[in-house]
Amino acid sequence: MGIDIQQLYRDLHAHPELSFQEHRTAGIVAEHLHALGFTVHPGIGITGVVGILTNGPGGTVLLRADMDGLPVEEATGLDYASTARGTDTDGKDVPVMHACGHDVHVACLLGALERLVDERANWQGTVVAVFQPAEESGGGAQAMVDAGLFDLVPRPDVVLGQHVAPFPAGWIGIRPGVAMASADSINITMFGAGGHGSRPETTVDPVVMAAATTMRLQGIVSRELAAGDSAVLTVGQLHAGTKNNIIPAEATLGISLRTFDEPVRTKMVNAIERIVRGEASVSGALKDPLISYDEHFPLTRNDEQATLRTTAALGNVFGQQIIDPGPISGSEDVGVLATAAGVPLVFWFLGGSDPALAEALAATGRLPEDIPSNHSPHFAPLIRPTLGLGIDALVAAAREWLN
């Protein structure tokens, strides 16, 4: 068939779609899977696509790629830059960009599947290809599981996946154990009593209440966690009011919490709720704040033995250019697939930036701080050699488990 992976990537990059809206992308994926001879199941978890190829007896490998873009306006200046727009879950018209590299993931997985088909005389077993929607919202993997993914596919021996990252192309980042943080999105509404801005004494000001809460929350990590523990707490949204001379009746906060183990997460959640309720109480709020939990990403935890085995296979391709990046504070939902199947997970990071950056990495152990990272409007992985190396990585890892 001969998929033009570079052209496919450019097309995917120019036409991103928001979470659970990946209809065009899913159609392209399904078309290529059919052409490669896979049994195809579309519409799993709304827009997810699954392909199955059995090539005799042997191991069963699940390879996963995510498909959704982000509500970001692209500023890369590329000739294939996205000008797409979409409608978010609040009904707002927003720009859309593949600012996290999921277009890389889809292109690499399709390229790897084509190579495995071309080389099937050299391996035996079953390949399960999962093209997952809505990773960015944290619900895509669970939606596929809830839709009966593992009733459709044979139980795999391992779940494998990769994520493009802003370090030099030609390098792989992989580690056993905790690879990425868990994440919680917490929405809080604080209730005051509104009134005229000239008479604050007749009100309970929720703006001041929310501002005090925001500052107090920043002390949890520095004052309540042990030095060896780690968490990231960000107040990413604070909304209140409609006019300068009106004290509003309520204010809302949007919190992002990331942690690396469950006891620390529990401690952070308890502290957040204590502080929010405490600030409301001392401010004289007329009713208790409303605290709701929205998106949740579990810890991404690589199985130790499976990771060592897969790393050895990747070493045959990348040599010594394999690093342990440490636990990453970003989050993923790929672990949901492995947990649901009851099998090991191995998830690694694929370098996508200028290979020349390897010199800076070797000399200082760090990369320049101005390198655009995932979720930046300037994020633009190099097509060459990133796509070819991403295909190499997936094929090497899959063949290790198929063989």
Residue 27 host element (H or E): helix 23-36
163 labeled binding residue: yes
185, two tokens = 């999105």
What pLDDT is attached to residue 360? Answer: 73
pLDDT score for 1:
53
8 Å CB contact between 233 and 268: yes
CB-neighbour burial class of residue 342 (10 A; exposed 0-12, middle 13-18, buried 19+):
exposed
Residue 221 tokens, joined = 């990590």
Q: Is there a contact between 352 and 169 (Cβ–Cβ < 8 Å)?
A: yes
User: Which pair of structure tokens corresponds to residue 42?
Assistant: 């579309």
Model pTM greater than 0.85? yes
Q: Where in the chain is the domain with CATH 3.40.630.10?
A: 5-179+299-402
CATH 3.40.630.10 is the classification of domain 5-179+299-402:
yes
Q: Which tokens sit at 55?
A: 């090539």
Q: Which segments of 254-342 does DSSP mark as H helices, in order?
A: 262-282, 304-318, 335-341
Q: How far is CA 275 from CA 152, 160, 189, 271, 296, in A?
A: 46, 40, 13, 6, 21
Instruction: Chunk the chain into consecutive blocks of 10 residues (it has 403) and report each block's average pLDDT, rounded to whole numbers.
Output: 91 98 98 98 98 97 98 98 96 98 98 98 98 96 98 98 96 97 97 97 97 97 95 97 97 97 97 98 96 94 98 96 94 98 98 86 73 95 97 98 91
Active site residues: 68, 135
Domain 182-296 is of which CATH architecture? 2-Layer Sandwich (3.30)
Please report, for residues 48, 289, 300, 350, the alpha-carbon distance to residue 195 in angstroms, rounded to integers and kept in the order given: 49, 19, 47, 54
How many Å separate Cα 195 from the centre of its chain? 42
pLDDT given for residue 265 in this prediction:
97
Q: What are the respective helix, strand and coil percentages of the chain, to the nearest 5?
A: 35, 30, 35
**What residues have CB less than 8 Å from 213, skipping those under 6 apart?**
188, 190, 253, 275, 276, 279, 280
For the chain, first and last CA: distance in Å?
25
User: Do 358 and 170 meet the contact criterion of CB atoms below 8 Å apart?
Assistant: yes
Is 100 annotated to bind a ligand? Reply is yes
**In the chain, which segments carry CATH 3.30.70.360?**
182-296
